[in-house]
Amino acid sequence: MSPIVLKLVSQRIALGLMLLLAASALIFAGTQILPGDVAQSILGQTATPEALENLRRELGLNEPALSRYFSWLADALRGDLGTALTNGKDIADSMIGRLGNTLFLAASAAVVSVPLAIFLGLLAVRFRNRWPDKLISAVTLATISVPEFILGYVIMYVVAVKLQWLPSVSILRPGMDFGDKLEAIAMPVIVLTFVVLAHMMRMTRAAILNVMESAYIETAELKGLSAFQTIFRHAMPNAISPIVNVVMLNLAYLVVGVVVVEVVFVYPGMGQYLVDHVAKRDVPVVQASGLVFAAVYIVLNTLADIIAILANPRLRHPK
């Protein structure tokens, strides 16, 4: 790797870390301005004033915010995310399982959807403005337009309730082997694939069509390459940067944005974990989850930048 590339890449990484620090401050500030009171939320409607005061004191909610931010940040850097206020469990421990589930679902959905989207995009370019292109666009745009919970309910009703092919709840039990797990998450994977397909497919199509106007494509055609070879060997590498960006955005979405699908299919992922703790004002968990989500976004986007730099020599020499 040349020094200039190394410099660019390390710049990106440093920028990512700074962003993460800024995000941590924002997350902390955000959790401070949530309305309501953690003690009241834990104890509920039937809490007595004494019980509330006792709990508040025990949770240290009377300390000033700034000192709590720095001690939290220092602990987080050491990998200690603290314990949940509500059930006293270690956050890192409970989160590892949840994060693992989320990544498993996201990875499964990505393995299906990314190649499929790119392939469909290439196909759409190949048959541009003819019926395969129009069919692909119509179907993928239709599935992205339907709210994902409705898509989930429809698939659940047909596949689980009527046909009884797959389980309607995607609960993972210990002792399940890989095949059982794949069966359990089959329905959410289908729904997620439908949700992210259109975005990536459309971007692939647009980016490649853009470079298809270039002179070197004409040259390739004149060389006698087949249409698909031209697209794949010559157009694709030059269009990779916007495609990678969109793919990364969608991967990030698959990790942090799938709470609705998790709820519908009762999948024990990060989204549900975060929402439950927000509802209970369990601030340490909300902060820790926020940090993890921010890290996922930043890492994936940094990765997209780095891939773009490596794939496209022009980005290495900014004017």
Partner 1 sequence: MSRTTNKPTGLSRRGFMGRASALGLMAGISSVAPLFAAEGVKGGNFVLGLKGGESTNSLDPALALSQVIFALLRATSETLVNVASDGSLELRLAESVEPADGGKTWHFKIRSGVKFHNGDTLTAEDVLMTMQRHSSDDTKSGALGIMRGIESMSVEGDVFTVNLTTANSDLPYLMADYHLVIQPKGGMDDPASGIGTGPYKITENEPGVRHAFEKFDDYWDDSRGHYDSHEILVINDDTARAAALQSGQVHAINLVSPKTARLFGRAPSINIETTSGRGHYVFIMHVNTPPFDNKNLRLALKYAINREEMVEKVLRGYGSVGNDTPINDAYPLFDETIPQRQFDLAKAREYYEASGHDGSPIILRVSDAAFAGALDAAALFQQSAQAAGIPLEIKREPADGYWSEVWNKQPFSASYWSGRAVQDQMYSTAYLSTADWNDTRFNNAEFDAMLLQARGELDVAKRKEIYGRMGRLLNEEGGVINPMFNQFVDGMQSGVQGWVSNPNAELMDGFIASKTWFE
Which residues face 83 on adjacent strands?
A: 90
Q: Give the range of 82-90, 200-208, 210-218, 221-229 binding partner 1 by CB under 8 A.
A: 82-90
Nearer to partner 1 (CB atom), residue 98 or residue 202:
98
Beta carbon of residue 188, minimum distance to partner 1 (angstroms, whole number): 11
Quote the tokens at residue 171: 């609960």
Is 319 near partner 1 (CB under 8 A)?
no
The residue type found at 318 is P
Tell me if 261 sits within 8 A of 148, measured CB to CB: yes
Is 268 near partner 1 (CB under 8 A)?
yes
Beta carbon of residue 30, minimum distance to partner 1 (angstroms, whole number): 14
- By CB under 8 A, the count of residues binding partner 1 is 51
Is 51 near partner 1 (CB under 8 A)?
yes
Is 167 near partner 1 (CB under 8 A)?
yes
Tokens 């050491």 appear where?
A: 78
CA distances from 182 to 2, 106, 167, 259 (A): 42, 12, 11, 19
Q: Give the range of 17-25, 67-75, 136-144, 279-287 binding partner 1 by CB under 8 A.
A: 279-287
Is 318 near partner 1 (CB under 8 A)?
no
15's CB contacts (< 8 A; 6+ apart) are 302
Q: Give the range of 65-73, 112-120, 191-199, 277-285 binding partner 1 by CB under 8 A.
A: 277-285
Q: What DSSP line would sit under 261-311, residue for residue?
A: HHHHTT--SHHHHHHHHHHTT-HHHHHHHHHHHHHHHHHHHHHHHHHHHHH
Tell me which of 83, 137, 143, 168 binds partner 1, using CB under 8 A. Answer: 168
Quote the tokens at residue 85: 């206020």
Helices 131-145 and 91-126: crossing angle in degrees, nearest 10, is: 150
CA angle 191, 133, 201 (to 5 degrees): 45
> What does the binding site for partner 1 look like in residue numbers (CB under 8 A)?
35-37, 40-51, 54-55, 58, 84, 86-89, 94, 97-98, 153, 156-157, 160-161, 164, 167-169, 171, 173-174, 263-266, 268, 272-273, 276-277, 279-280, 282, 285
